Structure 1
């Protein structure tokens, strides 16, 4: 009962806190909207100077979601990219199309480019701007491998026109036609030049900033961010099917910095890093299972393998290449466990190197495993096989140090009298022995042969 007054005091304090908070919450949404309206418009600025991959896509999508949640006036992406992965680009475009905040993409500073995937992003943005001496285009899809180029019927005979395309050409045509339909849809949504967009995909066409403005590919040219925001003040755009006027007077600029998650994803989705993590994981588990110890190799290998699996899930991976890598490592391990004098080991190294080259299913240079890394790992694997073969050859040349065959030539002592079969003592062990001459207890003998578990002995004198 002594605790009851204390409980009542806490209850009254909680009730008072709720009553005090009610007037604050009652301001929503009108009072809060007035407070937001009274604050100066905020412009979020993100600088993207890299290939478009999983880490960049995740960073952009999360930053744009935050801008929507906090009702920013404008989201500006300063872009300089050679291109990137298709699924990463499409995730960014979906975020732009769903955004309640206008998105302006500015290809800047001078000398920058919006090539390949960058062109699609420009067409998807509410405002497309470029700095002088920049360019865009070259939007032909290349991610899924080379294949044969699309056939041009012009100048070919009827036989060629009527011939069915091979599988590589058919796949290539499907990729190009899909990309054309996608970028034309974006161009028609934003009221931009859809015919040139198709040329950028089919023919890899490119344009400098001035010509892009003349051909209605972009909306404006601005030297830098202040010039861009000055030109956008009072501009009307279409936002989610409705007309929207940009009000940027007295704006505040908030630069978006990369967080730890983006940095971590950028590291592990580097193809060379993901490749090395995969190898460390597999070799760590093999080491743990082959010679169980304190578990360090197993724990480290398991962590690396899971991180590598997550990274490869985000990258364009050839599962044939991945299978060849696993097969190669398995053959190298088999060489160590059941020696074949190099047949399994060398075959494993060959499968491993071929799989490593094939692992990344893309032609984009930014998402390839560095060849020096493959060469170093392949050379290390070949040296490992050489060491295994050398150790096995050395062990086979060594004299036997255990087993029944090591008893031949050893001295023995008879522990009983016998004429044909009896028992002798060798190195403290009792063995059945056979002799052709009578033997007396305590007589010194010598082992001259073995027949199963029976030793052949004779007098040692």
Structure 2
């Protein structure tokens, strides 16, 4: 009987504990939609922000990540980093060109094609994805197919760009965007025209040609229309459940804003020059501290900015060589030859420093010329001051004693002691000198002065 009673009590206690645990255990957190914004040029800062934003959406188990796009394009390297993050994301990504009047041009078109679901707001457009050559001018788009049939009855193919470099860039871009279109089941032929002929479409035309999946007026409307759609995430088909999701805006943080400022190649170049000259001034005046500390900070920040940009090592080497040559001109005057060579080398290196096809990321020619002229001017100014100081009379050290008239303190034979510059010096000279005589210092050998009798001194009076 006692055993049965104990068993009933144990069962009752277990049931109470289970009920309490079930009551204390929180239910599943409501899922949300993380909203990221690609506003402006695609660059290292926007790539870093979007990659970290997609990682945050994955960590918090978000239902979807919405990428709101308004961009004229940007760097190819940053665009590919963003696309790699989208393709690897376990969270479905909805690319949404918004608000009204926005665009997804150039790099934005590739990102739109890479996303799991593509949407646009009314009065928006996409396209014009032709690569830009390194010279800053667009690669010549291929002409549309000629209507005149060939002898075999087929239309002639569009002519390819004449320049081999342009042809290589265009063909690579075509293959890339067609692979993205095949992955998402979108219009690959129009995507090719966007690259070869810089074609563009409005939101309605893009929907009619199967370039995008839907048109939505705003984010709530997008969540409503995307609900129930099937997208392919990795190797799995996923049904989107977006109706009623809480929208969680993720704004760029201080790191993204700072990266966006310092990755301006013009500012990076200025930071590098401040860093180089700050260290030079510290080496010239050891212990000054401020030039060395400021220079080291600017140099490290500038190098970090350049590491995030498509840097050309030849340009960096030429710019560094130019700075070194202009500094060497200070210590080894060469009548301006090293300084002029350094200025030319610096200008060429600065113009080649960033390998980019975006005018927004090109080094400003007036800035390069200004920095070169300022550096060259400072070099010649320091050289002129050094030459002037070389011609100035010596006012300190043993050399300043040469030619001075001094008094003999004591003298025995051919050596004795003289008073020079308020100090007692050992001296060597002719015989017959005595205390009080005036002598002229001819040279110095270590701590011994070589003197001669002063011919202009009045004759010494002999004691009576």
TM-score with structure 1 length normalisation? 0.79
Q: Does 1:407 align with 2:402?
A: yes
Q: Does 1:63 align with 2:53?
A: yes
Cα distance in 2 for residues equivalent to 1:206 and 1:151 = 13
Of the three residues 429, 441, 445, the one matched with 2:434 is 441
Q: CA 1:236–1:416 in structure 2 vs 1: closer, same or farther (change >3 Å)?
A: closer
Cα distance in 1 for residues equivalent to 2:42 and 2:297 = 27
State the secondary structure of the residue aligned to 2:28.
helix
**Are the aligned partners of 1:148 and 1:169 in contact in 2 as well (CA < 8 Å)?**
no
Cα distance in 2 for residues equivalent to 1:448 and 1:275 = 55
| Higher gyration radius (CA) | 2
Cα distance in 1 for residues equivalent to 2:61 and 2:141 = 49
1:275: which partner in 2? 269
Cα distance in 1 for residues equivalent to 2:339 and 2:418 = 45
Q: CA 1:152–1:192 in structure 2 vs 1: closer, same or farther (change >3 Å)?
A: closer
Following TM superposition, by how much is the alpha carbon of 1:125 offset from its aligned partner in structure 2, in angstroms?
A: 0.9
Q: CA 1:223–1:148 in structure 2 vs 1: closer, same or farther (change >3 Å)?
A: closer
Following TM superposition, by how much is the alpha carbon of 1:350 offset from its aligned partner in structure 2, in angstroms?
A: 3.2
Cα distance in 1 for residues equivalent to 2:278 and 2:332 = 20
Following TM superposition, by how much is the alpha carbon of 1:371 offset from its aligned partner in structure 2, in angstroms?
A: 4.4
2:392: which partner in 1? 398
Q: CA 1:127–1:227 in structure 2 vs 1: closer, same or farther (change >3 Å)?
A: same
Cα distance per residue 1:41-82 (max 9 Å; x no partner): 522212221111122111111211222222222211111111
**Are the aligned partners of 2:444 and 2:450 in contact in 1 as well (CA < 8 Å)?**
yes
1:5: which partner in 2? none
Q: CA 1:148–1:47 in structure 2 vs 1: closer, same or farther (change >3 Å)?
A: closer
Q: CA 1:169–1:147 in structure 2 vs 1: closer, same or farther (change >3 Å)?
A: farther
Q: CA 1:257–1:451 in structure 2 vs 1: closer, same or farther (change >3 Å)?
A: closer
Following TM superposition, by how much is the alpha carbon of 1:448 offset from its aligned partner in structure 2, in angstroms?
A: 8.5
Following TM superposition, by how much is the alpha carbon of 1:124 offset from its aligned partner in structure 2, in angstroms?
A: 0.4
Of the three residues 195, 220, 223, the one matched with 2:217 is 223
Of the three residues 277, 286, 292, the one matched with 2:280 is 286
**Are the aligned partners of 2:142 and 2:196 in contact in 1 as well (CA < 8 Å)?**
no
Following TM superposition, by how much is the alpha carbon of 1:147 offset from its aligned partner in structure 2, in angstroms?
A: 9.3
Following TM superposition, by how much is the alpha carbon of 1:360 offset from its aligned partner in structure 2, in angstroms?
A: 1.6
Q: CA 1:169–1:415 in structure 2 vs 1: closer, same or farther (change >3 Å)?
A: farther
Cα distance in 2 for residues equivalent to 1:327 and 1:120 = 39
Following TM superposition, by how much is the alpha carbon of 1:192 offset from its aligned partner in structure 2, in angstroms?
A: 1.0
Of the three residues 426, 433, 441, the one matched with 1:430 is 426
State the secondary structure of the residue aligned to 2:242.
coil
Cα distance per residue 1:375-429 (max 9 Å; x no partner): 44334323312321331232133223344475225345484476xx655736143
Cα distance in 2 for residues equivalent to 1:58 and 1:23 = 46
1:194-343 equivalences under 5 Å are: 194-293=188-287, 295-343=289-337
Following TM superposition, by how much is the alpha carbon of 1:179 offset from its aligned partner in structure 2, in angstroms?
A: 1.9
Number of aligned positions between the proteins:
417
1:88: which partner in 2? 78
5+ residue gaps, structure 2? 1-16, 147-159, 459-464
Provide the aligned C-alpha RMSD in A.
3.5
1:101-250 equivalences under 5 Å are: 101-142=91-132, 169-250=163-244
1:4: which partner in 2? none
Task: Say which structure is richer in helix.
Answer: 1
1:374: which partner in 2? 368
State the secondary structure of the residue aligned to 1:35.
coil
Following TM superposition, by how much is the alpha carbon of 1:173 offset from its aligned partner in structure 2, in angstroms?
A: 3.3
Q: CA 1:237–1:449 in structure 2 vs 1: closer, same or farther (change >3 Å)?
A: closer
**Are the aligned partners of 1:341 and 1:389 in contact in 2 as well (CA < 8 Å)?**
no
Following TM superposition, by how much is the alpha carbon of 1:299 offset from its aligned partner in structure 2, in angstroms?
A: 3.4
- Identify which range, 79-88 or 386-395, moves more after superposition: 386-395
Cα distance per residue 1:220-239 (max 9 Å; x no partner): 22232233223223333333
TM-score with structure 2 length normalisation? 0.78
Cα distance per residue 1:352-375 (max 9 Å; x no partner): 333223222113122233445434
- Identify which range, 398-407 or 316-325, moves more after superposition: 398-407
Cα distance in 1 for residues equivalent to 2:130 and 2:89 = 27
Q: CA 1:111–1:151 in structure 2 vs 1: closer, same or farther (change >3 Å)?
A: closer
